[in-house]
Chains A and B, each alone.
Chain A
Amino acid sequence: MIPLNPAQAVHTAAERTITEAAPQLDWWLLAPLLTVFAAGVLAVLFEAFLPQGRRRGPQIGLAVLALLTTFVLLVLQVGSVGQEGTTVAAGALAVDRTVLFFQGTITVLALVSLVLITERGDGRDAFAAQAATVPGSEEERAHIMAGSQHTEVYPLVLFAVLGMLMFPASNDFLTMFVALEVMSLPLYLMCGLARRRRLFSQEAAVKYFLLGAFASAFFLFGIAMVYGYAGSVNFAAVREAVAAGGAPIFADGGNGEPLLLMGVGLVAIGLLFKVGAVPFHNWKPDVYQGAPTPITALMASCTLVAAFGALLRVFFVPFGGSADVWEPMLWTVAVLTMVVAAVVAVTQRDIKRLLAYSSVVHAGFILTAVVAGSTDGLAGAMFYLGAYGFTTLGAFAVVTLVRTKDGAQELNEIDRWAGLGRRHPALAGALALFLLAFAGIPLTSGFIGKFAVFEAALSAGAAPLVVVGVLSSAVTAFFYVRIIVVMFFRDPGHEAPTVVRAGVLTGGVITLGVAATLVLGVFPGLVLDNLVPSQDSGPEPTAVMVSQVTADSGGE
């Protein structure tokens, strides 16, 4: 049906880069990724050679050190990259200020999540003693008695972070796919490691893995279609092909449009799955509920930022010229996401499931900024993601502290949180603040974020989307407020929850969440004026993200 000549396609772009001399690598710009990678490898070696009882300390130290170093490197790079941005590793990765913002945000959020992961306030961390044992078996008990622990979590986190850092920086589809897998595989594993309710946890891991594998397959299939259309997987080449109405193979009257449509759609499925947009959201509540809470926190903050970073990149850079193709699709998805998730969330009784649905709704809000397709939209989404990341980390940190009466197990049923506000006003107050921020009450970061994305969408003429957005906001307010009602207005029943004393670490995470929520709510200019792209940075919309495309094609 479509005149396809693979040989010709290879000649156009891909072969050239392969046959050239070994690419020049800019080690300085690759340093952050290499640091995390090296640390991950080193951590695996620690697992192999250190005796079991002595692994924990070095592992934590290594992971913290690696992430701190990465963050410092990223900050230092901001100066050397300049406004334009550039590509490294033969055009496989992009480095510009937008990418650096995403990477920096991911690193900080990962560091904060790591703090939650290491927390062992009651002497035990959140992970199973030995995940390979059958839940409830003698063997499991033996491992618990022996005090076994999974220090493998730390290398897994590092690899996941590596994938997350690559994901929004990828400058071709194959790199992006590799990043996606590097990010996802460790997460699948970590989801199954919960100490309590292990069957839930394992179910979550299997679900996440199977659905994630499907999504990856869609993504890969989409890449194949795009390759067929553009003759390249490089973002710059795809962008050029889209602008020209197809690769040179279609020049003689052939029509590559169906390939592009399929490619955009299938790639979008892969990305929207990671973001958790309706109708690809079904994994989120189960996985968020089953996974150990620190891992849930990691996924809810870092993974979301990384996935949206990649989503923005894909729709703004390679598919930027075909907005008329994907805009109706994203419109539909955004509306569905906001409405369905908000309505379903109302019936949730479990705090982690509720936060999962809430994260789906917020993904919908951010999608409205993607639909806007403008610099304002990009900036709004970036601000939203950063603000949301800190707030959601704080919220999950609170969740880890509320326990059943004996203090052993997290108490996630919201209805049993009655009286929390009276007994632990500071903790409940912090959670109330996070929830109000989710609901978008002014003077919190959530409000500014919402304002930024809706402003972008309305400027782009997507008024109906904004109206749906505010209406579902009103619905979400209902279930956020319900939690506050339970905590503050209801008398504690016979089975009041206990709260384990917040360790310094978890306490620090909550404090940081409160601080970020308030500071970004009252002084959003700190981020909006300095860290995210503004209209002035270039005449073209989304100038910063697009810039390295031009830089790349100019270099060829």
Chain B
Amino acid sequence: MFPWLTIAIALPVVGAVLIWALPRAKAPAEPAVATSSAQASGGGTATRVRPATGPGAGPSADGRTAKRIALGTSLATLLVVAAMALRFDTSQAGGLQFEQVVPWIPRFGVHYAVGVDGIALVLILMSAVLVPLVIIAAWNEYDDREDGGRGYFALILVLEAMMVGVFAATDVFLFYVFFEAMLIPVYFMVGRYGLGDERAKAAVKFLLYSLAGGLVMLVAVIGVYVYGGTFLWTDLTDPGGALAAIDPSTARWLFLGFFIAFAIKAPMWPVHTWLPDTAQASRPGTAVLLVGVLDKVGTYGMLRFCLELFPSAVSWFVWPVVGLSLVSIVYGAILAIGQSDMMRLIAYTSVSHFGFITLGIFALTPQGQAGAALYMVNHGFATGALFLIVGFLVARRGSARIADYGGVQKVAPRLAGAFLVVGLAGLALPGLAPFVSEFLVFVGVYAFSPVPAVLATAGVVLAALYILWMYQRTMTGPVPEKLTGLRDLSVREMWAVGPLIALIIAFGLYPQPLLDVINPAVERTVEIVPEAGVVADGASEEGDHE
């Protein structure tokens, strides 16, 4: 069996090590990457890079080589993942494929175990698509820094390895390792390379929130081992296994331990407050990966671990989670409307969108969960693109404040057009990808119980408001003096956003390939949770108890 997943994890790490090993040379970097990195071990002379003299000045040699390595590595990873996806057997999408199990820490029964089912596959694909685009979008952002941004590009690659790893891990311990370790690159990406004076504070807030959640989850992870006797996901989900036999109250505690961590990650109201701050302090590329991929780990974890490891505890949590999801949907949307900073605004829209995802997951119906899984992918593309375009604006004007903009469509029509398409995707316009997933979520939730479905529609209405109002305030109207010479999208920038827009339109018109892969996996989850149907029937009764 060819270790596709291991290669997809190892490749970015190799790229990151190459970048770090680059000599700090003043000489223009040669395209021959291998030779320059081979000399690296000889101990680079600590020459400072020449300072950039202006926006047009060339990037440092350091940064240029680093960028090339980063882009090359991420594209290679994308190729590997794509090749793997082509070999994926859709008819068996419900089970794990490309599995690899190697003992790691025998004493604790920990394995290096990777494998993907349909949902994990599409999420890995999404991550692998986003990373090279983020690198292209961030191409010139760090040219004025003394290290030319090589640290940033190395961190992106490390993060990519962990993103693939976290979705591929089929050992709870390994998952936890990736889940926690991936905080560190993001922490440095925000704190060291972020924007604004508050970036250090935002980075700390992000790290502490996530770490606190992660530590609570650690208790649950240990609990899984103590009660289940193994960390292997395949053994733990065995209906005849030890974990299936634990008493319900323990199962509930363990469920809660996982859920708190995932809710913080997702982020769900009321533990979402780190996201707007962090997004505001992030560079757009960081924000794309943060919201587009990292937060998905939360919802993916709910689906994969909360539901499948503790099916007996699920029914107890359905209504509280549905309630929190509804609050997230409405609260996120309302706060999005009130924001004056575009990055914060998008962050709050994501809180709202994640409400839809968790709602779909905990509706416990095939359509709802399929919609949620699809939502994760579409949201990654749509919000990722939105962050990138806002990032282009910020790079031009130096501000993310809505009030600083206006009339952009007159001076930069391509930028405004891309913004509109992506924004409309954000409000789930039919014909664009997010519509399909949102529709599926609504169908699924309605089948579960009509009331939450009706309440959730408020989120759709509000979405139209915050997106269109933002468009109106920034893209239409008179052009402020400072924006008169605004450049339109460059070729590089179009390469960064174009593929995402293409994907949004393509999957909007023809989502079937994704659904073919997702559906079998979702059906397995729904089958595992025994009370799914019962809960749907006795929903109103249970609701009264809460």
Chain A residues within 8 Å of B, Cβ to Cβ: 379, 421-422, 436, 439-443, 447-448, 450-452, 454-455, 458-459, 463, 466-467, 470-471, 473-474, 477-478, 481-482, 484-485, 488-490, 524-525, 528-529, 534
Contacts and interface: CB of A to CB of B under 8 A. Distances in A.
A470 B216 contact: yes
A528 B108 CA distance: 9
A470 B219 contact: yes
Contacts of A525: 104-107
A477 B177 CA distance: 17
Q: Is the interface of A mostly helix, strand, loop or mixed?
A: helix
B203 A485 contact: yes
Given A458-B223, A490-B200, A477 B208 contact: yes
A442 B106 CA distance: 17
A313 B316 CA distance: 45
Q: Nearest 3 pairs between A and B by C-beta?
A: A489-B200, A470-B215, A442-B177
B423 interface: no
B222 A454 contact: yes
A458 B208 contact: no
A455 B226 contact: yes
A101 to B, nearest CB: 15
B142 interface: no
B400 interface: no
Given A443-B181, A466-B222, A488-B188, A471 B104 contact: no
A471 B257 CA distance: 13
B219 A458 contact: yes
A463 B249 CA distance: 14
A477 to B, nearest CB: 5
A117 to B, nearest CB: 29
Interface of B: 104-108, 146, 176-178, 180-181, 183-184, 187-188, 191-192, 199-200, 203-204, 207-208, 211-212, 215-216, 218-219, 222-223, 225-226
A440 B219 CA distance: 13
A235 to B, nearest CB: 28
Contact of A481 (B107, B204, B216, B223): B204
Nearest to B199: A489
Contact of A451 (B188, B204, B212, B222): B222
Contact of A474 (B188, B192, B212): B212
A477 B216 contact: no
Nearest to A436: B184
18 contacts: A379-B107, A442-B178, A447-B180, A451-B108, A451-B218, A452-B108, A454-B219, A459-B226, A466-B222, A470-B216, A470-B219, A474-B211, A481-B204, A484-B191, A489-B199, A489-B203, A490-B200, A524-B105
Contacts of B181: 441-443
Given A463-B219, A474-B215, A481-B187, 14 more contacts: A436-B184, A442-B176, A443-B181, A452-B108, A454-B218, A466-B222, A470-B218, A473-B215, A474-B208, A485-B200, A488-B188, A489-B192, A525-B106, A529-B106
Given A467-B219, A471-B215, A482 B204 contact: yes
Nearest to B200: A489
Contacts of B225: 455
A273 to B, nearest CB: 29
A421 B188 CA distance: 12
Contacts of A482: 204
Nearest to A421: B192
B188 A441 contact: no
B184 A458 contact: no
Given A451-B222, A489-B192, A528 B107 contact: yes
B215 A441 contact: no
B105 to A, nearest CB: 5
A450 B219 CA distance: 11
Contacts of A440: 215
Interface centre among A447, A458, A489, A528 (most CB of B within 10 A): A489
Contacts of B183: 441
Given A442-B180, A455-B108, A489-B203, A478 B219 contact: no
A152 B183 CA distance: 47
B107 A529 contact: yes
Contacts of A488: 188, 191-192
A556 to B, nearest CB: 36
B249 to A, nearest CB: 12
Nearest to A467: B219
B222 A534 contact: no
A458 B203 contact: no
A391 B429 CA distance: 54
Given A454-B222, A459-B226, A477 B188 contact: no
A439 to B, nearest CB: 7
